[in-house]
Chain A
């Protein structure tokens, strides 16, 4: 029989208890157990970054973590960013700068940048490109993502 554990994870502020297989990835836990399908799975080997979430406030590849590793911890996903239907400044900057096309890599990029802009409120272009180099995007050529990130940083510094 499959090896299972009961885990309790706080996801986007909501406490969730589930009995899960020990081999279940965090990505599949979020997507299939909690129906939070905003976290996307692009490579399942930790390179593309589409599945990036914050675990205890630190970015992590949800495809490389097991759900059981998150027992007792806090996880934040792309679904946590907007206030109702109101986009946060980072999301709004992505829309205004055309920082997404197909939208598949976007959730992971937003979570990577959420952590980055929290810790680096006034980054330069080179720093932004450096942090983005951990996420693959096949549509945009990154240019509009870089512009959106710098724009978002400015808005967030301005208290917008």
Chain B
């Protein structure tokens, strides 16, 4: 038998259906009698919402109803959408209603929901909902929003400050007094959005006899959605079931709870019909959470030998109109700054600011890429000022492997000290530099310059908290048919959990991974779940599957020992059976054991075992585990057009023990592509009134096959001591260091012109602007 368990690059169980067009994405779900929803959305970034006249919309043939705030059930009118992660630093916890009550705070905020026979009709009628708006001044730029007298993002707010908090290690003020050198950088970073290929969507079905709701949502976690629904509708546990079908990409924002989901449920109850809403791409640009702007003002203090003494500064973070994830995003950013470097003194004052734009929540990397850009810009600055090699400056500041576990000294959002569990950062950088042929680069660069071409190389290092708690669970069950099912709250969006979790279970149960079916993100499958984001599923769900499957295997042996009248220790699991080690033909199939395990009516259970050949485990990690990586980008910049071509790209990364190397490679390379977009192309543009003006893929550029380089991968494997299989997360590590490496390479290419870069993305227009006269052919 070919090994298909942990460590094998087996083919994905997901693929045959996807390749034949047989996936079941939310828009592929069709229920009898289903109606369709479309939203009337605020055309203003900030406005009072007055009278709403539904008559014209209701007059359209095929329209069933039009829902406004006033039509919502009492419990939904009474509360705003839940703030998922409260924190004492949040000064003003603004959250939206399911439909705007009397004020719209971003362009695209839902104001009315039209339900019709088809999406075509619903969209026609949504245009006809007549809303009296009184436009209000809009907060557009998160820096300007902090100025006295700036327009308020929420009428009646005390200011535009959502939250303010410091992150501290040691005594930065004292450290800066003793420094040999202090350098200051002001950096503007802008990250776009997730732009998964499948827009959001939901189908709600109110089942009147049971007075319960079934929701299919293209989401990254059904259980948290269910909890939100229970709260909003004040229902019992049995009255809501949420299922995530196949999900066409998530990257963070599909982990949020959105007003549209509440509305389709309300509409289904009102019409007593299933109701579907599918977001179109323009709505996706308006109303799906993004990441956007951060403004940094930071200083680094080093000694005469370029060793870091301290880092300090201020971060202005844009939260947008509301705070659904509290301060999670800027908090992750702030705590990621130190990365792989020893920074004895660190102080960052963070302020999270309201603007009249769609709220910002984690997008792949979740604020970490920005932290890495800032730290790596500072490292490059030190190297430039002190005329040292950039790799060398980093090497002399690395945390050494023998310092593990390493307490960084700051508190992460899980409330625990940031303590790196494992990793070898010097080895990781060395491996990346060797593969990128870093040593020979000056020769390549000089040669290219000789023929008027400008090559540059950039390095970045990152450490990423992964496998965040509190838990993800798994129920492993052998049905009386003998078939094995794993139920988990994990919610894949391309990460291949149906394959990798099956591999883990197969190892314990002595079967092929094809014999294990994994059911993900269905609240009817397992009672508790968190969902898939923050590179947490392998560690949490993977460990739970491992623990639960091991218990099931032990139980199967106990039952079989009774059936076969032998000792458990004489038994092993293989080929779907429990068999005698000494005589493999003497065996009981898992099917026979499962039948035995459920008992017979009227007979007592033998052996005092609880019934059923199943077990549920919730692995609860004591703290995060830390993946790390080094990226080296080599670029060529066209000084006339500002075009950047990535000519070589190397990733060395360490995510501990790997379940399926093929799948991890895919995660890392895909992550790099996201970083390429963030570094060079993706910009969400708003005008002075906070009107979004980049709302399609012609104006907002995603990286294409011709933009993304071939990525050379180097794997390091430092097992984590904090979970049974030694795993760490792999979903975001490809993105996190990428922006910093590419920006650094562009700056390096333009060094002959004295160009420095303190922003991302760096577009061709901006490069030409920075080059000034040099771009016109007057070379330095």
* A and B from one complex: yes
Cβ-closest chain B residue relative to A126: B706
A129 to B25, CA, bound (A): 27
Say whether chain A's binding surface is mostly helix, strand, loop, or mixed: loop
Known A79-B21, A136-B702, A138-B197: A143·B711 in contact at CB below 8 Å: yes
B251 contacts the other chain (Cβ, under 8 Å)? yes
Nearest CB of B to A123, in Å? 13
Nearest CB of B to A25, in Å? 10
Interface string of B13-28 (1 = CB under 8 A from A): 0111111111101011
Query: Which residues 368-419 in B have Cβ within 8 Å of A in the complex?
Result: none
Q: How many residues of A contact B (CB 8 A)?
A: 57
Residues B705 and A129 in contact, CB atoms below 8 Å apart: yes
Residues A96 and B11 in contact, CB atoms below 8 Å apart: yes
A11 contacts the other chain (Cβ, under 8 Å)? no
Residues A132 and B705 in contact, CB atoms below 8 Å apart: yes
A78 contacts the other chain (Cβ, under 8 Å)? yes
Residues B669 and A41 in contact, CB atoms below 8 Å apart: no
Interface string of A97-133 (1 = CB under 8 A from B): 0101111111100100000000000000000111011
Query: Which residues 664-721 in B have Cβ within 8 Å of A in the complex?
Result: 665-666, 669-674, 696-698, 702, 704-708, 710-711
A21 to B124, CA, bound (A): 14
Residues B710 and A43 in contact, CB atoms below 8 Å apart: no
Residues B705 and A103 in contact, CB atoms below 8 Å apart: no
A37 contacts the other chain (Cβ, under 8 Å)? yes
Taking a contact as CB atoms closer than 8 A, the residue among B11, B16, B669 that contacts A85 in the complex is B16
Nearest CB of B to A73, in Å? 20
B672 CB contacts on chain A under 8 angstroms: 141
B27 CB contacts on chain A under 8 angstroms: 31, 37, 41
B496 contacts the other chain (Cβ, under 8 Å)? yes
A100 to B12, CA, bound (A): 10
A39 CB contacts on chain B under 8 angstroms: 21
Interface string of B181-196 (1 = CB under 8 A from A): 0000000000000111
A94 contacts the other chain (Cβ, under 8 Å)? yes
A78 to B663, CA, bound (A): 24
Interface string of B230-241 (1 = CB under 8 A from A): 000000000000
A36 contacts the other chain (Cβ, under 8 Å)? yes
Residues A48 and B21 in contact, CB atoms below 8 Å apart: no
A44 contacts the other chain (Cβ, under 8 Å)? yes
Taking a contact as CB atoms closer than 8 A, the residue among A37, A79, A81, A95 that contacts B12 in the complex is A95
Say whether chain B's binding surface is mostly helix, strand, loop, or mixed: loop
* Residue from A44, A96, A138 whose CB has the most chain B CB atoms within 10 Å: A138
Known A102-B493, A140-B673: A79·B20 in contact at CB below 8 Å: yes
Residues B15 and A42 in contact, CB atoms below 8 Å apart: no
Residues B248 and A43 in contact, CB atoms below 8 Å apart: no
Nearest CB of B to A32, in Å? 8
Nearest CB of B to A92, in Å? 8
Residues B20 and A138 in contact, CB atoms below 8 Å apart: no
A32 to B482, CA, bound (A): 38
Nearest CB of B to A116, in Å? 12
- Besides A31-B27, A37-B21, A128-B705, 12 more A-B contacts (Cβ < 8 Å) are A40-B197, A43-B696, A78-B20, A98-B12, A98-B663, A98-B665, A101-B249, A133-B705, A136-B197, A136-B704, A139-B197, A141-B671
Per CB-CB distance, the 7 closest pairs between chain A and chain B, nearest first, are A38-B21, A104-B248, A103-B18, A102-B494, A101-B494, A141-B673, A132-B705
Using a CB–CB distance below 8 Å, which chain A residues touch chain B?
21, 23-24, 31-32, 35-45, 47-48, 50, 77-79, 81-82, 85, 87, 91, 94-96, 98, 100-107, 110, 128-130, 132-133, 135-146
Using a CB–CB distance below 8 Å, which chain B residues touch chain A?
11-12, 14-23, 25, 27-28, 30, 120, 194-199, 246-249, 251, 280-281, 493-496, 662-663, 665-666, 669-674, 696-698, 702, 704-708, 710-711, 734
**14 A-B residue contacts at CB 8 Å?**
A37-B21, A38-B20, A40-B248, A42-B199, A48-B697, A87-B19, A98-B12, A98-B665, A100-B19, A103-B15, A104-B198, A105-B197, A107-B21, A144-B666
